[in-house]
Structure 1
Amino acid sequence: MIEWLFVPAAYLIGSISSAIIICRLMGLPDPREQGSGNPGATNVMRIGGKKAAAITLLGDSLKGLIPVYAANALGLPFELVAATGLAAFMGHLYPVFFGFKGGKGVATSVGVLLGFSWVLGFAFMATWFLIYKLGKISSLSALVASILSPVFAWFIAGNEAIVAASLIMTVFLLWRHKGNIQRLLAGQEG
């Protein structure tokens, strides 16, 4: 039963806000109080530049990847691996250490998908990159890649628990991006 500790541990790891920590370490304003108010890599880039954003992106991805990779490496059942990934993702969205106000979850979901399967994570990133090259809109790229991730999971991972986890992350990503979706529909997102 000790393997079920992966789920709460993953949530706590996910609750570590890379954006807030990086901004504090680099002497930048709190991302929750600047720009979009979102503690994520895109907002960190707005207030602190590419280097701070890249470090934030890496940190957010790793907190999704590391717990899932560890659960996979230990040969835990797929259901537990999927629950571990969801816990890390939910920790990012609703971090216990930061008043349950977290980021939108794209980078952390990429880390989780990479932990499930390297091919699955790269399929998400390749989709994001392709859509970004075509439209130059980061939020649109994230939304399209997120919507396709359960489909990718079905064909790549072929496991119902992984597909379900991917679908749940997609629903939350769409919810967290509802403002972006409204601006996209109004032609105001750029």
Structure 2
Amino acid sequence: MSTNLILYAVAYLLGAIPFGLILARVFAKVDIKNSGSKSIGATNVLRVVKQENPRLAKILSVMTVVLDALKGVAPILVARYMGFDDSVQWAMAVLAVLGHCYSPYLGFEGGKGIATGAGVLACFLPLCVGIALIAWFLVGRLLKVSSLASLTALTTLLVSSFLLNPSLSGLNTQAPVLIIAFLVVYKHIPNIKRLFCGEEKAVI
């Protein structure tokens, strides 16, 4: 049990690292917590940094996505290599997303969980995440609205997960996927309100 708790703590604390904030401060000398949407995710990195350096903004936003995904993936793969069962790995996945959304390093504020959520879910549901990424790409390219693309991808993932994996391996429940989806939707409530009011800005 003590080893499980250590793995849970590592997953949460790694998930909580605000890579977007760090990269923007180090390489662009800006604080994205005080600019744009004030989110720590890749979209706000792109939005804020591109005002001064569009090329750097693209590089940093891609780096943010990759690192936000990897910080959720890495501890799960370590736990899998150590032989821990699916229930432990799924708990770590949820905690990684929770850490990103409510980071203790930022006073329990944080990002919206898309990249970290996609990363951890890809460890268990690679086909569903692949389908969701296609939906994200198509909506993003057509409508240029990051939040709408992300929410569409999340909906696609949920539908495909229930259709292709009605009972998650080792769990017989979709609870971890639903918890991650709830966190992502909850963090997107301001964006959802702006979408309904026609005020959400195109940024991708």
Q: When the two structures are superposed, what TM-score results if normalisation uses the length of structure 2?
A: 0.85
Match for residue 8 of structure 1?
9
For the residues of structure 2 that align with 1:170 and 1:117, how far apart are their CA atoms?
A: 14
Structure 1 residue 148: deviation in Å?
Answer: 2.9
State how far apart, in whole Å, the 2-side matches of 1:117 and 1:177 are: 23
Structure of greater Rg = 2
Q: Which whole-Å CA distance do the structure 1 matches of 2:38 and 2:92 have between them? A: 27
Aligned position for 2:180: 169
- The 5 A counterparts of 1:93-172 are 93-157=101-165, 158-159=167-168, 160=171, 163-172=174-183
**CA shift digits 1:153-178 (9 cap, x unpaired):** 33444414672111111111111111
2:75 maps to a residue whose letter is: P
Provide the identity percentage.
34
Q: Is the alpha carbon distance of 1:131 and 1:73 closer, same or farther for their aligned partners in structure 2, counting shifts above 3 Å?
A: farther
Of 8-17 and 133-142, the range deviating more from structure 2: 133-142
Mapped pair 1:59 → 2:67: yes
Paired residue secondary structure (1:116): coil
The counterpart of 1:179, out of the listed 187, 190, 193, is 190
Q: How many residues align?
A: 190
Does residue 21 (structure 1) correspond to residue 22 (structure 2)? The answer is yes
Unpaired runs of at least 5, structure 1: none
Residues in 2 aligned to 1:162 and 1:3: alpha-carbon distance in whole angstroms: 21
Indicate if the aligned counterparts of 1:128 and 1:141 stay in contact, CA closer than 8 A. yes
Q: Distance in 1 between matches of 2:79 and 2:135?
A: 26
Which of 81, 87, 106 lines up with 2:89 in the alignment?
A: 81
**Unpaired segments of 5 or more residues in structure 2?**
50-56
Supply the RMSD in Å over aligned alpha carbons: 1.8
Per-residue deviation, residues 99-133 of structure 1 (Å, max 9, x unmatched):
11111111111111112232232222122112223
TM-score w.r.t. length of structure 1: 0.91
* 1:43 aligned partner: 44
* Aligned counterparts of 1:13 and 1:156: Cα–Cα separation in 2: 30
Check whether the contact 2:131–2:156 (CA below 8 A) recurs between aligned residues: no
Deviation at 1:183, TM superposition (A): 1.3
CA distance in 2, matches of 1:162, 1:59: 29
> 1:113 and 1:51, CA in 2 relative to 1: closer, same or farther beyond 3 A?
same
Tell me if the contact between 2:15 and 2:72 (Cα under 8 Å) persists in the aligned partners: yes
